[in-house]
Structure 1
């Protein structure tokens, strides 16, 4: 990872006026559902909130809760976390939504429990049993099997997954009773380790790349060991640069209120820690914000690759350097409420 040089927001940094600041509304009829004053005004809030999602909450509901807690205009998450699972769900507010792909492409870490003896149609505890076994693996047998699943492997996703088949989600087809045949896909698993074992259950830690299904891993491990298995508990402990140490929970956000919650807001550029940064002048920043490319000068200026540019410590653009010229692909307007890094 590369450190990102930043400083306090300079007074000269261009700001984009909020689209919600309008004049002459005094005499207009209030919207349906009550007077305008009954609804808190949505704010231009930008940054990352790392939510420690509880079991039973959907990712969509989690985004709605965080959006409401900040009175934010725009929000989205970086990677679905099933209702059965708990743990790290990075939620982007405002301009941070433009950096979601960088987080989704990052490495992930999980701690999960495999219950032996039953394979389910969903590969987790919410499904119905489709195969059973009276056999139970020893810790040594589980540890001996894990290396077969480490590295670049082919994995068949669960039938109940969000993968599309001819435009339909696999889980929708499965719920309708259709036979879902998914093909194996390449995934990268960097580490698997047994941390607890009691005969009927094994707790495993995993570090893996984008697109890996822990439920499928438990299913395939149970089949290899001849004892069947499914995920009975799952917790995500890291997504890209974000860890449990960065997280907050719903109760904490509710107690803090919209202003106090800003303490949990991380800078937009935190999502870009895996790529190189470069500082640019104000004139160059203005060009980038208009979608125009700029030439990077100096002995240490990168000549190729993906980078992000800052001006006075404020994120301006993300793009690719081609023969010494930065071509912006995403530009940012961080003039409203945004988290900033200390200089």
Structure 2
């Protein structure tokens, strides 16, 4: 895998691990980071609600071509449930719907959480960005309109109880794409018989990327401009889980032009691989014993 971000002239390509603060929208954080890195093209791999904080992978330039890989990847979160109170949004920002007495112990909490590990059905919340007739569900919710939603199957890989305090419980959750942690918190609260809402939510991982090395936008802004590009991970960070294939100079040039080429390696029909010449060229797929270009990146030189 490459060790540096790529530049194509003045273009900026790479992956920035951003630690989004509580209260900021994902798009606002993205746009600030894009301007600070002087990148023409940017996107993120999975929205975080304003009330949530944590890992927001920002993809710059050619890295945006691989955003779907992160969108489809498992995520990890740390969250705190406030027990005994339900809200309209399922989190601390909503209006209170009900208050109930909390009469649960550690065994009950662990048992309730265990019930939701594995494949489960979730009904997306009204306060979400899902679209209905071209309009986000939260827009209907703010108007007091309830839209019928179909349950979706998601996979809760793991729920770890981190801390139990009077009236609250902190959890670490690892889950598949499409999981709503607010809905999970509400469902756990109902399983306990007291109701619950999220008082805190922090994303700690997305696929292979971790919050451990993420940086805040404020910290980027405080850095000298010439040092900021050093924060970027290379584009091929996003495809490191694919088998690597190396091409000689002639084959790399043909591959770059969209032609299938002969390549060394164990050809498994249909397998996707990350392909390199002197630098990362993109993704290819074995077809009839040849490496067929699948998703190419614009050629670059090391920054």
TM-score by length of 2: 0.94
| Equivalent residue runs for 1:11-160 within 5 Å | 18=9, 43-160=10-127
Output one character per residue of 1:39-91: Cα deviation in whole Å (capped at 9) or x when no partner: xxxx3010000001110111001111111111111111010011111110000
TM-aligned CA deviation for residue 302 of structure 1: 4.1
> Counterpart in 2 of 1:39?
none
Provide closer, same or farther for how the CA distance between residues 214 and 138 of structure 1 changes in structure 2, counting only shifts above 3 A.
Answer: same
Say if 2:3 and 2:234, in contact at 8 Å, map to a contact too.
no
**1:251, distance to aligned residue in structure 2 (A):** 2.1
Instruction: Provide closer, same or farther for how the CA distance between residues 147 and 157 of structure 1 changes in structure 2, counting only shifts above 3 A.
Output: same
Pick closer, same or farther for the CA change 1:8–1:215 going to 2, 3 Å.
Answer: closer
Pairing 1:320–2:273 present: no
Moved runs in structure 1, 4+ residues, more than 4 A?
6-9, 15-18
1:195 aligned partner:
162
Instruction: Deviation per CA, 1:234-256: give whole Å up to 9, x if none.
Output: 01111111112221111221121
Aligned residue for 1:304, secondary structure, equals coil
Deviations 1:150-179 (A, max 9, x none): 111111111111112233211112122211
Cα pair 1:136 1:200 within 8 Å, conserved: no
Distance 1:252 1:8, change over 3 A: closer
Of residues 307, 310, 316, the one that matches 2:276 is 310
RMSD: 2.1
- 1:120-153 per-residue CA deviation (whole Å, 9 max, x = no partner) reads 1111111112232122422221101112111111
Asked if structure 1 preserves the Cα contact closer than 8 Å seen for 2:4 and 2:302, the reply is no
Aligned length: 303
Instruction: Note the residue ranges of structure 1 that are not aligned, 5 or more in a row.
Output: 10-14, 19-42, 339-343
Output the CA distance in 1 between the equivalents of 2:4 and 2:22: 39
How big is the shift at 1:107? 1.5
Is 2:246–2:263's contact at 8 Å kept on the other side of the alignment? no
Spell out, residue by residue over 1:313-341, the C-alpha distance to the aligned partner (whole angstroms, 9 max, x if none): x2102132223222222111142675xxx
**Structure 2, unaligned stretches of length 5 or more?**
none
- Asked whether the equivalents of residues 156 and 185 of structure 1 are also in contact (C-alpha less than 8 Å), the reply is yes
d(CA) in 1 for partners of 2:143 and 2:299?
A: 45
1:286-313 C-alpha deviation (Å, 9 max, x unpaired): 2222222223344x3444311110112x
Match 1:233 to one of 185, 200, 205: 200
Q: Does 1:288 align with 2:269?
A: no
1:139–1:197 CA contact under 8 A, matched in 2: yes
> What is the rounded CA distance, in whole Å, between the counterparts of 1:226 and 1:267 in structure 2?
48
Q: Which structure has the larger Rg over C-alpha atoms?
A: 1
Residue 332 of structure 1 pairs with residue 281 of structure 2: no
Aligned to 1:223: 190
